[in-house]
Structure formats: C-alpha cells, structure tokens
Amino acid sequence: MPTLEINDFNIVCSVLGGFITLFGLVSYLFKERFYLSEALISMLAGIAFSPHAANFIRPMDYALGSQANLDTITMYFTRLVLGVQLVLAGVQLPGRYLQQEWKSLSLLLGPGMAFMWLVSGLLIWAMVPNISFVQALAIGACVTPTDPVLSNSIVKGKFADKNVPRPLQRIIVAESGANDGLGYPFLFIALYLMKYTQGPGFSGGGGKAIALWIYETLVYEILLSIVYGIAVGWLSMKLLHWAEEKRYVDRESFLVFAISLGLFIMGTCGLFGTDDLLACFIAGNVFTQDDWFRLETMDDSLQPTVDMLLNLAIFMWFGAVCPWVLFAHNDIIPIYRLIALGIMILLFRRLPIVFAMHKYIHQIEQLSQAAFVGFFGPIGVGAIFYLSVCRQFLLEEMIVDGKVRDDAQKTADATYIVVWFLVMCSIIIHGLSIPVGKAGYHIPRTISTALSVSSAEPDPIRLPNSRSTHSTAMPTTGNLRYNRNRNRERGRRNTPPSTVFRIGGSPSQQEAHVASPTDSAAGLHPGGSQRQQQHGEEEGGVAKHSSMPAVPTQVAVHEPIRPIRLIGDDGRVETLNANLE
C-alpha cells in the first residue's frame, strides 16, 4: 500500500530543486535588471525555509542535535564550495597572470591583508567586552580574506561589463582567490599566541608560538601548498594537452576537467593537512599558464552553471544555519554593539588601505575605482570556513584537565556570533549596494525629466486648409506657424523643395527634415515604416485625405522629439506621434 515518505532527504531535494527551478525562471530579471546577487536571494530563501520560518530545512536534525556536528558539516560544505570556486577563479585569469601582476598582488596581499587584519582586530577588541587583543585578532583573522564567491557579483554580468574595466575585474578575482588561502597565517599566529601566552596548561611562551607558526603554518601549510599547486597544475596541463592531441578525451570530460582537478587537490591536501584553498587557486592559474584551456572553454557554460548551483546551495544553507536568535540574545556582546561593529568593519576594514595604495596599483586608475574596490571587499564563505577552523582549534586543541580552557571557550562563542553577524551584514549590504546605487542615480533624473516634459508642452503647428494641399511651409523658430504666402508660391511648383524646421533647443539639436510630397506618394511615414493610405487615393503625387491636408511624412531625426499638435485653419486638431528614435 502506498505510504507517504516524509523524510529529510525528500524534503531537502524538493525545497532545493523547487527553489532553483523557480529562481531560474526569473534569474535574468533579478540579476541583470535589478542587479540582485544570487547570494542575497538564496540566503533569503534559506531563511524562509529554515526552522525560524517554514521549518522545511532543519540543520540541527541533520547534525543529530550536536552543534559540533553542525560545525563540521558547515566546514566541509564551505571547503567543497571554495575548492571548486578557487580553481575556477584561477582558470579564468589569463596565462601567467600571477607572475605578470605580482607587484599589485603583493601590495593587496601583503600590506592590504595585514591592515585589514589589524583594523578588524582593533574594532572587535573595542566593541566586544572582556576579551584580550590577541583574542580579537583571532576573530579578526576570520573576516580578513575577501570572498571569491561574493566577488563574482561585481566581476560578472551586465553591471561589470558596463562599469568595471576588465583589468580591475581580474585583479579583484586574483586578490579574492589568493587571500582566501593566505588567511591561515593571520589566524594561527593569534591562536598560537593565545594558546601559549594567554592561559595555563601550555608552556613555551611566545617563542614556541612563533616557532610553531613558522614551520607549521608558513612552511608546511603555505609553501608546501604553493609547490603542490604548481606541480599538480603543470602536470594536469601537460596531460590534458597530450590527451587532446591523441584525441583520447571527449568534450564533456574536457569541460569538467578543472572542476575534477579542484576536487582532487582539495582531497589530497586534506590528507596531507596542508592549505587546500591556496593550492586550488595556484593550480588553477598554473593549469592555464599557456591560456589554452581558458580560451577553449570561454564560450561554454558548464563552469558558470556549476558555479551558480554551488552559490545557491551554500547561501541557502547559510540562511538556514545562521544563529539569528543569538544576535539579540547572548552574553557576549549586545545587539547595538554588533550593529555598530558591522558598520565600522564595512567602512574601515578595507577602504582606507586601498585609498592609500591605489596610486601604486595600476589597475586602479581613479579615486572612484579605489572607492569601489575598497568598499567591495565582501565577507562570505571564506569567513565561515575560517570560523569553523578557529572553533575546531579552540575547542579541541586547548583542553586542560579534560575541559576546554575558559578563554578558549569564550573566544569560540564570541567568534561564532561576531563572524556570522558580519557575514550576514556583508551579504545584505553588498548585495543591495548596486541596485540601491542604480536606483539613487536614476530616480532623481527620471523625476526631473518627467517634470520638464510636463512643464514644457510644445507650441502647436498651424496647417493651411485643404485648398493648399500641395503646399509645404517654412515655419518660424518661434511659434512654428505656417507662412501662407510661401505656401502659395511653392504650390505652383511640381516638386516643392524639402523644408527643414527646428523644434526647440539650439540649431544643432532636434532637427527634422520634412520631405517633399513626392516622398509622401511613395508611402514613407515617420519612423521609416511604409503604410498604405486607408482612405483616399493618390492624385498628382499627393495622397488626398478626406478631411485633413497631406502633411510632411518622411522625417529623419537626429534626436528624439516630443509629439506635435497640428492645428489646421478649419480648427481641427491632429497629433503627430513622432516616435523618432
């Protein structure tokens, strides 16, 4: 007997598939007309389906009621998304891009990241009560990298094509890809100092903390991941070239090669315990060192499609697992301090250092571009990944007498609240900045245009009566009234000359050329369309109308003009709807 199978798997598949299907129906409208990012829309959908609303997506049930399990699920999910996204980010850059633009990247990844880390730490130290500066630096390290997933909203699509120069798009992609992997040194220097200098249970002091940071973080995680990424990327490029020359690889496997490469690097780096994020980005760029793969796949949509699916899924998950209740009800930081912290992080974390360095970064040519790059340093998937890494270290590596050290527990709790809040602020603010900015730019102009149109109605054009059918007048520039004497003179000619009259503006603007009546006989009308006269017949090269005289019909317009009211001598009025674009 058929029974209902209302289980978590069926519900999640129904909700996720239904949302992606419905969003796909209006995706162009939202992204290219309203300039709304996928991240913001899917995050709002995740909130709607979360336990806080419809309760279709229940993350805590999937984690068997354990916060530790939920953190682990979130960490691996973010690792998966970042690994694939960073390989694709490296692939879409031109060949040898990192070698060619090393000066600009060294500024953004060196002084730029250090400044963002220190400023974030200082602001968190000032706003979160009862934590040390080292603890604040550990929290600030989680939000230091810019997010490659959210950066896609400003380097792809119609807005980016119109407003962001291509060199600027590429440097944003390169920075967001590289600094996600370079967040480890900033995080672990703070964690090691906290572990060996801030409390009991671990001896060695600052010297041991620095030593561990150098050979475990800088050498093993950073340098090894760079070498491994270069080796895997170069070997993959050579193997794919060989397979393509031998015609061993089909088109589908060719297109998916970069994605599978990201999965391989992420898994093997996880086995070694090294920095998989940096290795994925380096391997992706080395893989396209000769620019062959990038050019071959430029017109294919598989990679953007996978990118979109991952974006929708991860941000729906964020909307469902975000601890919304803790923002207002916690013992760590009041809500008003959280809001003030979010505003200051968005304003001062990145903007000042970009302004200070923009003259030395040749891709940033103007102050407006510096403001754009400085403001759009989003906090997203990378921050949640580093949040999970930070909490894992604090709750598993800083245990004294079988219990988590008090300062470690407090730091873990504060990191959980602060980082989640800053990520939500970034998704909302950066997701709405472009549409709000576009609306703020267009609405005043639209209102002023509408007011000027309504207050500047054009003067009417008075036409002669039907007895002077063959005449064409030369209007004056004032009230555009026809001169009847000139009409009589031109009426004696078989082919009257064409007339030029100006409607408002300067003589160089809004000119209209009115053709002779012989052009009217050919059926040429305003806008370039051809129509037959429905009433009347042609006689002497002029189409006779039952009640109105023939009017000039072929119009060549340099700029659009408003509709013109035509008033004949008999008092009848006709509007010429001159849609002359």
> Can you give the pLDDT at residue 411?
95
- What's the pLDDT tens digit per position in 333-360? 999 999 999 999 999 999 999 999 999 9
On average, the pLDDT of the chain sits at 81
Q: What pLDDT band is residue 493 in, cutting at 50, 70 and 90? A: very low
Distance, CA of 23 to CA of 28 (rounded, Å): 9
Q: Domain 66-447 has what CATH class?
A: mainly alpha
Q: Are 143 and 379 in contact (CB under 8 A)?
A: yes
> Can you give the pLDDT at residue 533?
40
Contacting residues for 474 by C-beta, under 8 A, at least 6 apart:
482, 483, 486, 499, 501
- Domains of the chain, by residue range, sit at 66-447, 461-528+547-576
Q: Which residues face 513 on adjacent strands?
A: 500, 556
Q: Three-state SS string across 96-149, please?
A: CHHHHCHHHHHHHHHHHHHHHHHHHHHHHHHHCCCCCHHHHHHHHHHCCCCCHH
Q: Is the pLDDT of residue 534 over 80?
A: no
The mean pLDDT value for 44-51 works out to 94
Q: Is the pLDDT of residue 473 over 90?
A: no
Q: What pLDDT band is residue 32 in, cutting at 50, 70 and 90? A: confident
- What's the pLDDT tens digit per position in 107-166? 999 999 999 999 999 999 999 999 999 999 999 999 999 988 787 767 777 778 888 899
Q: What pLDDT band is residue 46 in, cutting at 50, 70 and 90? A: very high
Q: Is the pLDDT of residue 496 over 80?
A: no
Cα 204 to Cα 52, 162, 187, 220, 411: the distances in Å are 46, 56, 19, 21, 21
Q: Are 525 and 553 in contact (CB under 8 A)?
A: yes
Provide the percentage of residues in the chain whose pLDDT is more than 70: 75
Q: Is the pLDDT of residue 395 over 80?
A: yes
The mean pLDDT value for 2-16 works out to 88
The mean pLDDT value for 390-410 works out to 92
pTM: 0.76
The mean pLDDT value for 260-268 works out to 95
Q: Which residues face 556 on adjacent strands?
A: 513
